[in-house]
A = this chain, B = another copy of it.
Amino acid sequence: MSKGLPDLNKDFSGWYTQVVNKAGLADYGPVKGTMVIKPYGFQLWEHIKEIFDGMIKNTGHVNAYFPLFIPKSYLAKEAEHVEGFAKECAVVTHTRLKADSEKGVVVDPDSKLEEEIIVRPTSETIIWAMYKKWIQSYRDLPILINQWANVVRWEMRTRLFLRTSEFLWQEGHTAHETAKEAEQETLDILELYRQLAEDYLAIPVYTGIKTESEKFAGADTTYCIEAMMGDKRALQAGTSHNLGQNFAKAFDVTFQTKENKEEYVWATSWGVSTRLIGAVILTHGDAKGLRLPPKIAPIQLVIIPIVKNDDQRQEIKNYMEPLIAQLKDIEIRVHQDWSSNSPGFKFNEWEIKGVPVRMEIGPRDIVENQVVLARRDTGEKLFIDKEDFKENIIKLMNDIQSGLFEQAQNFRNKNTHSVTDYKSFQKIIKEGGFVRCGWDGEQSTEAKIKEQTAATIRCIPFDEKQEGLTCILTGEPAKHEVIFAKAY
């Protein structure tokens, strides 16, 4: 009954590719590494977007839109930033095509631009160039702007949702009077990311700080949420950066303080992307395909009528009508599958698409005055009295939402190990899992461990306990307790 999906214990990567394909989530575009997000996949994004958009608006943020095109000279203004993005920039150099009698349609050489244009890989530079125009005094602060946009990072090795040349995301860019305020904003947003991941996507996350070598190019500090996928590898699911005064200095953005002084503005930026959809698949998927948390599922309940003839068809429709009305009352996203496919085919299809609850209704259920509900997360079948339908649906959706979270949390906790010797470290990294251990704080140590095991420091967790710890590689006193893992 696994619809020809590869065994996820043996070929997790092949399983992922097939699920994305067979669930109708996404497809590759013609240009290397670009992604077509198909309607079913895009509905996941719409739900994620709506939820997070509500969260940031509730906390005083507003949306805006900044241009896709950044002059090359802007990108170059912040030294670390340009170094971080230089190798993955799509560059626009011309603005016209023309007909050529031999070669067909060619780029018109006469349309060459004086200054090349970069397709935004992220928007700090163009936004801070605009903030320079908008900020004069403390009265103009804070600026709490977000944008929902597409960005381009030319990637060599791509995976749908996880790493694509173009992806969709939100990027917040805020400007503040003080370092303290910027730091608070960075942390407040990280907490919203944690809520988004845990309370809506049902993905448990570790929150913490990135090391110097893993932080955002241009940031003072990068905070992150890190999740464990079904193959025990780590996935960075969201980052929130305290940019200090780096971009303000690069773009010369100063403001008049309340004390009538001139000071550089303090900045943050933060983003989550369509990568979150990959995280949902990789966290909750099982042998039968996707398993979607109800809060973001495009379809929360699918109805499969079991009919043999037209008489039954009408009878079932009549039986269903008040139930559908109740589902509407409680705003459940429902789909009725009246297609001519067999029930077995339909079960498979909606399982692979991860619909949280399947409702079967046949002539027998009418006699029994019941409905049959099947949970996608556990496979459990429930026979519910028709009168108790509404309450059961509400409860079921909550149970599935929390059940998926708990299952993922147990899995993660079971596969997160505190170790003190390098041999155990290597064994766990090889077999899969997160390691919590001491680190001496040296970039060279981090690099050596990466070279030897392919594991990276995912974060310095907020709840670190470094007292008494020694570095897992060097044996020196630990500067931090960190979480190591192989990552996507």
A residues sitting closer than 8 Å to B (CB atoms) are: 27, 29-31, 34-39, 41-43, 45-46, 62-72, 74-76, 82, 86-99, 104-105, 107, 111, 116-119, 126, 129-130, 133, 145, 149-150, 152, 154, 165-166, 168
Is B95 a contact partner of A93 (Cβ separation < 8 A)? no
26 CB < 8 A contacts A-B: A29-B130, A30-B74, A31-B69, A31-B70, A34-B69, A36-B66, A37-B65, A39-B62, A39-B63, A39-B145, A43-B62, A65-B168, A68-B166, A69-B166, A72-B105, A75-B105, A76-B104, A76-B105, A86-B98, A86-B99, A87-B97, A89-B97, A90-B92, A96-B154, A97-B118, A107-B116
**A-B pairs with lowest CB-CB distance, top 3:** A34-B67, A29-B67, A39-B62
A66 near B29 (CB under 8 angstroms)? Answer: yes
Q: Which residues of chain B are within 8 angstroms of A107 by Cβ–Cβ distance?
A: 72, 91, 93, 116
By the criterion CB–CB under 8 Å, are A94 and B96 in contact? Answer: no
- CB pair A29 B69 closer than 8 Å: yes
Contact across chains for A63 and B46 when beta carbons are under 8 A apart: yes
Closest to A130 in B: B36
Q: Of all chain B residues, which has the CB nearest A151?
A: B68
CA separation between A97 and B149, bound complex, in Å?
A: 23
CA distance A45 to B377 in the complex (A): 39
* Residue among B91, B118, B133, B168 making CB contact with A27, cutoff 8 Å: B133
Q: How many copies does the complex hold?
A: 2
Determine the chain B residues whose CB is within 8 A of the CB of A118 once the complex forms. 97
Nearest Cβ on chain B to A217's Cβ, whole angstroms: 13
Which residues of chain B come closer than 8 Å to A69, judged between CB atoms? Answer: 29, 31, 34, 90, 152, 165-166
Asked whether A67 lies within 8 Å of B98 as measured between CB atoms, the reply is: no
With a 10 A CB-CB cut-off, give which of A63, A65, A92, A166 has the most chain B CB atoms. A65
With A30-B71, A30-B129 already in contact, 5 other A-B pairs whose C-beta atoms are closer than 8 Å: A72-B105, A87-B97, A88-B96, A90-B94, A93-B107
Identify the closest chain B residue to A89 (Cβ).
B97
The answer to whether A68 touches B152 (Cβ under 8 A) is yes
Contact of A65 among B42, B64, B97, B119 (CB under 8 A): B42
Chain B residues within 8 Å of A126, by CB: 29-30
Residues A82 and B95 in contact, CB atoms below 8 Å apart? no
Assuming A62-B43, A64-B38, is B86 touching A96 (CB within 8 A)? yes
Contacts of A63 in B (CB 8 A): 39, 42-43, 46
Q: Is the CB of B68 within 8 A of A39?
A: no
**B contact residues around A64 at 8 Å (CB):** 36-39, 41-42
Judge whether B38 and A68 touch: CB under 8 Å: no
* A91→B88 contact, CB < 8 A: no
Give which listed residue, B43, B82, B150, contacts A150 with CB less than 8 A.
B150
A75 neighbours in B (Cβ, 8 Å): 97, 105
Chain B residues with CB under 8 A of A95: 88-91, 154
Q: Which chain B residues border A88 with CB–CB below 8 Å? A: 95-96
